[in-house]
A and B are shown apart, each in its own frame.
Chain A
Amino acid sequence: MDATKRDWLKERHRFTEWMGTPDASSNRPLRKVALDAADLPGWSLDRVKRDSLTGGVERNSSFWRREGGGVAVRIDLYECASSAAAREYLIDALGEFESGGMARRTDGLFGEVSFGDDRVALFIRANVVAAVRNIERAVVPVSPVAQAVDAAIVRQQLRGAE
């Protein structure tokens, strides 16, 4: 990302307030993080794509449909090298939102740091940046989905620690 834009985003989103990472012992980097159908009850997995982005970020994009309905959400998991790298990548992610009203969430429902509202969620858990977005006209609240995604990441983190 352009340095001017990065600096502007860091200032606007008060990066210094959330740049610190949790205790390293509870934040081991996850590798090959992914979701499966059991992680999102009530949703069916439509398709998955994996690709590599610049900066060594691995992306897992999954598209989900609500069972019995046409509503769809997209969940992107951006796997970074470390928790600190994920915090930097969250700035990149915020740079993909054109709205001047994108704001930090303080409800603590999901993630270590989170942004958005009930229609789009962007958060960090360990070395993973997650984005949950509506992709069809019929908009569904994404907070429950984001909570389920966060829980799935935590489970994978715990499994990795065993």
Chain B
Amino acid sequence: MIYLDTIAFNHDPTGATHDAINLRKNATQWIPVPEWRRGVSLKPEDSLAAYAAGQVGSNVVTIQVSLSSSDPGTHSTHVRAIDGVIYPPPPSGCGCLGWLLSLLQDLIRALFGNLLGDVQGRLVTFTNGQSGPILFNLVHTKLSTAAVGPHGTKWRWQFRTGHSGAWQDFQVSEHRIYALLDLPTAPWQQSPYQQSNTQLPWTDVLEYACRWAIGARTAVDAAAGVTRSVFDLGPGTVTYDCPGGGSSHYSWGGFDCSAFLDRLGGGPGNGIYVNCSDCATFVSTFANAVGCDLWQSQMGYGFGLNPMLGIGSSVWQPCCHGDPFWSDSFSYHEVAWTGACTATEHVYDGCLQVDADTDPTAPPQTPQQPIDMVFGDPGDLTYRDRLAVPASRPSCAPQPGTRQRRAVS
């Protein structure tokens, strides 16, 4: 009998051109490699890996596998794994539809096949019943053209003796694979790859970020998906902190990402209220996890506001209008921003929607999520004009000195 003992996706922590990237689960939990272990990894969620499409390109991707044999007479065998979705185990006693299945398999592969394709067959030799860790090439992968998203991968592991024997199933393995545009950018790190480094990308973050950016093939599309998803968290999960003067509940002194994940999962987190710094941090940190390159940066200081839709609100008004704590003004505002975070660069604002028509100071309003929107100068009718009232626009100036990427905890 042949056994599949372990599969390592991230078998080379020094690079991500031929294997998976370095990960951890969250602030406190580590993901050991090999990611899949016999008897331990029972569900796809027990075997997590992520690939950076921009690093892999057209390279051959490999996994490192350990096998064992309980038959002392088996010194070598051929082993492979085929896509468990395209090639489900055949129904017993009926081969009549096999020809039809084969015709459909190419189509099914294109539509539903494993992101990681198949594991190419190779000869495996055993010493005292153990193969030791050996590399297998992946074939038919979709990594080079993959859109962002979480993907299930299911492999039917098979062996045969000799070159012409029938392949026999001996194990099914299932994995949850995250397809990223490229390596995560700061605050996420790839090194040092050690348990004490809490800035390695968290799979708990990738689970949300990949869903929010699902289908994206460009950084703009991925950041757009994350921005819209953050705004759509209101009013059920979070809402703007009008009663508290718009203070930072998740981003004061760093990003309390653990609390935000708790809130996303239905827990209390740090409460329901958020402000612009929180939203800018959510957007940039989650977008950067899938390979975008955004910053958190502020504008200001002290400017009046056009009517807007704040996160969690369905009323067009200057933020928190009518509240004595507010004066239809922001002391500052913070967004996810590209490049040097100057007037010529682009912003992504998950905290509010602006009026997209030719007069953002008055009704009627056409809601627009600021996505890949040039910050601009007064009179440009870009982000700055849509946010600030005309007299205040000079005070709503980019403050690139505030540019940062808050560390996660």
Per the 8 Å Cβ criterion, residues 243-289 of B in contact with A are: 243-249, 252-254, 268, 270-273, 275-277
Number of chain B residues close to chain A: CB under 8 A: 42
A12 within 8 Å of B (CB atoms):
yes
Q: Is the CB of B275 within 8 A of A98?
A: yes
Mostly helix, strand, loop or mixed at chain B's interface?
loop
Contact in complex: A8, B301 (CB < 8 Å)? yes
Contact residue among A4, A57, A136 (Cβ-Cβ distance under 8 Å from B272): A136
Name the one of B252, B277, B401 contacting A3, with C-beta atoms under 8 angstroms: B401
**How many A-B residue contacts, CB cutoff 8 Å?**
125
A109 to B281, CA, bound (A): 35
Q: Given A101-B325, A135-B249: A5 and B272 within 8 A (CB)?
A: no
| Interface presence of A125 (CB below 8 A) | no
- Interface size of A in residues (CB-CB distance below 8 Å): 36
The stretch that binds A, out of B73-81, B87-95, B116-124, B327-335, is B327-335
The answer to whether the Cβ of A158 comes within 8 Å of any Cβ in the partner chain is: no
Residues of chain B within 8 A (CB-CB) of A37 are none
Given A98-B245, A98-B247, A120-B247, CB of A5 within 8 Å of CB of B325: no
Residues on B with C-beta less than 8 A from A75 are none
Closest to A98 in B: B246
User: B320 — which chain A residues lie within 8 A by C-beta?
Assistant: 99
* Cα A30 to Cα B246 with chains together (Å): 29
B22 surroundings in chain A (CB, below 8 A): none
Name 25 interchain pairs, CB-CB below 8 A, sorted by A. Answer: A2-B401, A3-B401, A5-B298, A5-B300, A5-B399, A12-B302, A96-B247, A97-B244, A97-B245, A97-B275, A98-B247, A98-B276, A98-B331, A98-B332, A99-B245, A99-B246, A99-B320, A100-B326, A100-B327, A101-B245, A117-B325, A119-B244, A120-B325, A133-B249, A135-B271
A99-B326, A134-B271 given; 13 more Cβ-contact pairs under 8 Å: A4-B301, A5-B332, A57-B253, A74-B249, A74-B270, A95-B331, A95-B332, A96-B252, A98-B330, A102-B331, A120-B245, A131-B247, A134-B273
Q: Residues of A at under 8 Å CB distance from B?
A: 2-5, 8-9, 12, 46, 51, 53-54, 57, 59, 63, 72, 74, 76, 95-102, 116-117, 119-120, 131, 133-137, 139
